[in-house]
Chain A
Amino acid sequence: MSDGVPGWVAILRGLGPRRIVLRVGAPFIALVIALVITMIVLRAAGVDPFNAMSSMIDYGTTSSSTVEILNRATGYYLSAVAVAIGFRMALFNIGVDGQYRMAAMLSAVLGGAVALPAPFGQILVIVAAMLIGGAWAAIAGVLKVTRGVSEVISTIMLNAIATGLIAYLLNPARLAEVRPGSNNVATTPIPESGRVPGFELAGGTVFGLIVLAVAVGIAFYVVINRTRFGYDLRISGLSPTAARASGVDSRRMVVTTMALSGAAAGLVGMPELLGASYQYSLNFPAGLGFTGIAIALLGRNNPFGIGLAALLFSFLDQSSDVLQLNDVPKEIVLVMQGTVVLTVVIVYELVRRFEIRLQQRAVAADLAAGRTIAQQEPTGGTA
């Protein structure tokens, strides 16, 4: 890289054509396998799979569906980034679901109670959501480092506790009010000045905070790949012993990473809260945290890959509505999403093994030809 070659060119050169094909090809192979399995399931259920797929594509590409897909993908993206922050340190934050609902509910109450001029109201709500999400996630981090409780179990339990607490607080006697004319219970609506306007498109309004999601993606990329903290985080995930040897305080890293992951999770509900519903009610979207896990896996914890995966999942969700009309239960989408996750991780693992074998063969060939390893061309970074 010292001879004036741009970084990305060097990376591509280091990867070599075969590895690029493998990198990009693997998710596609996995998607195709998942698609085939889903079609077999549909066929077995007595539905014409090609007909179902084409009607899904037709419906999913209308202009109103496009807007809906973008909006849904915004939440998915933030949720998956939150999960990916933990994954990068080998921490499983399964509690994104509880974290974002706690954050959205309490910050909605705050936004409804305080009226501030234009940018401050929004900033207040967003920052509060990040703090609440971060604090809720940090409980799991603290329990892990002080008491050795697996974060997988503790975040799942915290999800259930968050559900109960929200049900308790979202009560006319406490933080919410009954909407006349319906049996919905909701927090006080956020005033006009505290809302975030969207972008008007042909098919509807796209959340203004889609910009925030993009910014979070960029920040995620920069922090992970370009900072000392990101380096410590990645190395803690790849090799805890190496991290300890290089002076990383692993306990502090666990709590910080969980808190950061929770802060990102706190943002998940914001596009919806500040861009469409303006209140937290009984029908505020739930379950985004679990979808985020699948999306983070599909996107290989990479901000760009996660973006594509979020769009794909959002497309599947939206376009599956049309299946209902053809008497096909739309839950087939969950089957497809679960299959995608499983095939993706299996294909990645097989590709990884294949790469290792290729490398071994290359080294063996070099050694047989009498060259030493020091003379070899650079082979680029590892996974």
Chain B
Amino acid sequence: MTTTALAEPVPMRAAPGPEGSRLPRALLFAAVLLALLSLVRVITGADDITSSGTVGASLRLAVPIGLAALGGLWAERSGVVNIGLEGMMILGTWTGAWAGYQWGPWAGVVAGIIGGALGGLLHAVATVTFGVDHIVSGVAINILGLGLTQFLAGLLFDTGAAKALGGGPRQSPPVDAIRTVSLPVLSGGEIFGWRSPDALGWLERRHWLLASDLAGLLRGLTAGMSLLTLLAVALVPITFFVLWRTRFGLRVRSCGESPYAAESLGVSVYRMKYAAVIISGGCAGLAGAFLVTVASPLYQDGQTGGRGYIGLAAMIFGNWRPGGLAAGAMLFGYSDAMNLRSGGESVHALLLFVAILLAGIAVWQWLRARRLAAHPRAADGVVDRRGVRGAYLAGAVAITVAALLLIWYWRSDTVPGELVSFTPHLTTLLVLSLASQRLRMPAADGLIYRRGEER
């Protein structure tokens, strides 16, 4: 929101090009982070921070967040803010489990998508046709989704055959899991019944610096992958392709950037928005179905745990782009995995990791301040004193927090479980406050559009 000019001497990046142009930088950045994590692991002995188990759990937890984020992307690229993702995801868990326990997990997946899409349809009717404020409608859908599923669970899961199978007012009967696959030879997958060696697993158990971490990372991403996970991961490039490389995608995005211009070119803005918001609900519903068919084998009340909101945050963090939101989802999935796998110890090790990162940021801000002070602005030849002060201040804050974290790290052995529980949320908040000012959302995002009423 704040439009403080980021008067940096760095040349403006070229117009936002395709994802590819940023890939090398992103890979380098990821490699540096992995090296740092590896170092921290060796220092602290908290092997779980890069183990394949943690990485696998991260992926499993990242998928629902990433799917919700994809849902948010579809809606917001068409100009509709969708805070109702959480409610649509809840609808998806219920419909997914309802169909899943009766006709198998894949029926559950389809039903989950439909359940979420119905929520999306409701949101589209309220926001597009009736012009209701997007956030108000989203909040209502969240209340409605929660109430409706609890009501229906009490009605249908607590009686007759469902109850006999283990259902109750707060949970559904169990749903069969979706088949998992592992990569042969590298991660111990089976080929026609022959158990191939688990090369990466062997390497990981050596606990060597860097090599074992890389092995853990790769094994986490290739062993015991659910087919639905594969599908969900594939949806990221598919979404990119549809939104950025097809005529339909261009039309959807034009509705999010400038609906009246799109209208003047003959695009049916209402229809595009409807399509996008329904797809958005479908993605959220799929996220819900993933929770009941892969993450846990049944519907439970409160299962989504705010992942719809975190998905929205992941999308903002990813700058309204598929690649970015996938990275954001992975980050939140990773911090969420800390709740499952020896969380206290791992988060304790991560304190050191974050402290080192913050120290790096402090050095970078300090260098930036000196550079700003030495070079007057090109536009008017004046030194940007506010920018210099801001950079010094940011550096000071970063180094102070880093010092506090280090003290916490040295004075304790583990982080209490209650504090670990909100790691993803705190990460969301911190990451957004670090990233927010460089982001650009679709120009007409959240604005109410009425055909032929441009002002």
| A residues in contact (CB < 8 Å) with B | 41, 45, 92, 94, 143-150, 152-154, 156-158, 160-161, 163-165, 167-168, 171, 251, 290, 293-294, 297, 329, 331-339, 341-342, 345-346, 349-350
| Residues of chain A with a CB closer than 8 A to B278's CB | none
- CB-based contact A147/B437 at 8 Å: yes
Q: Which of B83, B122, B143, B434 contacts A294 (CB 8 A)?
A: B143
- CB-based contact B437/A331 at 8 Å: no
Binds A, one of B59-67, B220-228, B415-423: B415-423
In the complex, whether B107 has a CB less than 8 A from a CB of chain A is no
Q: How far is the CA of A150 from the CA of B432 in the complex (A)?
A: 9
- CB-based contact A153/B132 at 8 Å: no
Binds A, one of B21-29, B134-142, B187-195, B374-382: B134-142
Q: How far is the CA of A161 from the CA of B133 in the complex (A)?
A: 27
- CB-based contact B309/A335 at 8 Å: no
Contacts A168-B416, A342-B126, A345-B140: A334 and B151 contacting too (C-beta < 8 A)? yes
The 5 A-B pairs at the shortest CB distance, nearest first, are namely: A334-B147, A329-B154, A338-B144, A164-B422, A331-B150
| Residues of chain A with a CB closer than 8 A to B164's CB | none
Q: How far is the CA of A334 from the CA of B90 in the complex (A)?
A: 14
Closest residue on chain B to residue A339 by CB atoms: B144
Closest residue on chain A to residue B81 by CB atoms: A152
| Residues of chain A with a CB closer than 8 A to B312's CB | 153
| Residues of chain A with a CB closer than 8 A to B153's CB | 329
- CB-based contact B422/A156 at 8 Å: no
- CB-based contact A157/B437 at 8 Å: no
- CB-based contact B436/A147 at 8 Å: yes
- CB-based contact A92/B135 at 8 Å: yes
In the complex, whether B178 has a CB less than 8 A from a CB of chain A is no
| B residues in contact (CB < 8 Å) with A | 1-2, 83, 122, 126, 130-133, 135-137, 139-141, 143-148, 150-151, 153-155, 169, 306, 309, 312-313, 316, 416, 418-419, 421-422, 425-426, 428-429, 432-434, 436-437, 439
Q: How far is the CA of A233 from the CA of B227 in the complex (A)?
A: 52
- CB-based contact B313/A153 at 8 Å: yes
Query: Can you list 17 contacts pairing A with B, beta carbon distance less than 8 Å?
Result: A143-B432, A147-B437, A154-B432, A156-B306, A157-B428, A158-B425, A161-B422, A164-B425, A251-B2, A294-B143, A337-B143, A338-B140, A338-B148, A342-B137, A342-B141, A345-B132, A349-B130
- CB-based contact A148/B2 at 8 Å: yes
| Residues of chain B with a CB closer than 8 A to A335's CB | 144, 147-148, 151
- CB-based contact A331/B147 at 8 Å: yes
Closest residue on chain A to residue B441 by CB atoms: A150
Point out which of A145, A335, A339 has the most chain B C-beta atoms below 10 A from its C-beta.
A335
| Residues of chain B with a CB closer than 8 A to A336's CB | 147
| Residues of chain B with a CB closer than 8 A to A251's CB | 2
**Contact residues of A: prevailing secondary structure:** helix
Q: How far is the CA of A92 from the CA of B306 in the complex (A)?
A: 17
| Residues of chain B with a CB closer than 8 A to A144's CB | 1
| Residues of chain B with a CB closer than 8 A to A92's CB | 135
Closest residue on chain A to residue B156 by CB atoms: A45
Q: How far is the CA of A149 from the CA of B434 in the complex (A)?
A: 9
Contacts A329-B155, A339-B144: A152 and B135 contacting too (C-beta < 8 A)? yes
Q: Which of B147, B425, B436 contacts A338 (CB 8 A)?
A: B147
| Residues of chain B with a CB closer than 8 A to A294's CB | 139-140, 143
Q: How far is the CA of A331 from the CA of B155 in the complex (A)?
A: 10
| Residues of chain A with a CB closer than 8 A to B432's CB | 143, 147, 149, 153-154
Q: How far is the CA of A150 from the CA of B436 in the complex (A)?
A: 9
| Residues of chain A with a CB closer than 8 A to B429's CB | 143, 149, 154, 157-158, 161
| Residues of chain B with a CB closer than 8 A to A293's CB | 139
| Residues of chain A with a CB closer than 8 A to B425's CB | 157-158, 160-161, 164
- CB-based contact A164/B428 at 8 Å: no
How far apart are B287's CB and chain A's nearest CB, in angstroms? 17
Point out which of A92, A145, A157, A164 has the most chain B C-beta atoms below 10 A from its C-beta.
A157
- CB-based contact B433/A349 at 8 Å: no
Q: Which of B83, B136, B154 contacts A297 (CB 8 A)?
A: B136
- CB-based contact A148/B83 at 8 Å: no
Closest residue on chain B to residue A341 by CB atoms: B140
Q: Which of A94, A165, A349 contacts B139 (CB 8 A)?
A: A94
Q: How far is the CA of A221 from the CA of B137 in the complex (A)?
A: 26
Closest residue on chain A to residue B122 by CB atoms: A342
| Residues of chain A with a CB closer than 8 A to B141's CB | 338, 342
| Residues of chain A with a CB closer than 8 A to B139's CB | 94, 293-294, 297, 341
| Residues of chain B with a CB closer than 8 A to A145's CB | 1-2
Q: Which of B133, B143, B155 contacts A334 (CB 8 A)?
A: B143
Known: A152-B135, A168-B419. 5 other contacts (CB 8 A): A143-B433, A148-B439, A153-B428, A294-B140, A334-B150
| Residues of chain B with a CB closer than 8 A to A160's CB | 306, 422, 425
Closest residue on chain B to residue A142 by CB atoms: B433
How far apart are B94's CB and chain A's nearest CB, in angstroms? 12
- CB-based contact A290/B130 at 8 Å: no
| Residues of chain A with a CB closer than 8 A to B419's CB | 164-165, 168
Contacts A149-B432, A334-B143, A341-B143: A329 and B151 contacting too (C-beta < 8 A)? yes
Q: How far is the CA of A154 from the CA of B122 in the complex (A)?
A: 26
| Residues of chain B with a CB closer than 8 A to A349's CB | 130-132
Q: How far is the CA of A349 from the CA of B140 in the complex (A)?
A: 15
How far apart are A176's CB and chain B's nearest CB, in angstroms? 12
Q: Which of B144, B316, B426 contacts A342 (CB 8 A)?
A: B144
- CB-based contact A345/B126 at 8 Å: yes
Closest residue on chain A to residue B432 by CB atoms: A149
- CB-based contact B436/A337 at 8 Å: no
Q: How far is the CA of A159 from the CA of B433 in the complex (A)?
A: 17
Closest residue on chain A to residue B438 by CB atoms: A148
Closest residue on chain A to residue B135 by CB atoms: A92
Q: How far is the CA of A334 from the CA of B140 in the complex (A)?
A: 10
Q: Which of B2, B136, B147, B313 contacts A345 (CB 8 A)?
A: B136
Q: How far is the CA of A251 from the CA of B141 in the complex (A)?
A: 31
- CB-based contact A346/B126 at 8 Å: yes
Closest residue on chain A to residue B426 by CB atoms: A161
Closest residue on chain A to residue B436 by CB atoms: A148
Closest residue on chain B to residue A143 by CB atoms: B433
Q: Which of A152, A337, A341 contacts B83 (CB 8 A)?
A: A152
- CB-based contact A45/B316 at 8 Å: no
| Residues of chain B with a CB closer than 8 A to A167's CB | 418, 421
Q: How far is the CA of A143 from the CA of B2 in the complex (A)?
A: 11
- CB-based contact B2/A342 at 8 Å: no
Q: How far is the CA of A167 from the CA of B420 in the complex (A)?
A: 11
How far apart are B216's CB and chain A's nearest CB, in angstroms? 28
| Residues of chain A with a CB closer than 8 A to B136's CB | 297, 341, 345
| Residues of chain A with a CB closer than 8 A to B140's CB | 294, 297, 338, 341-342, 345
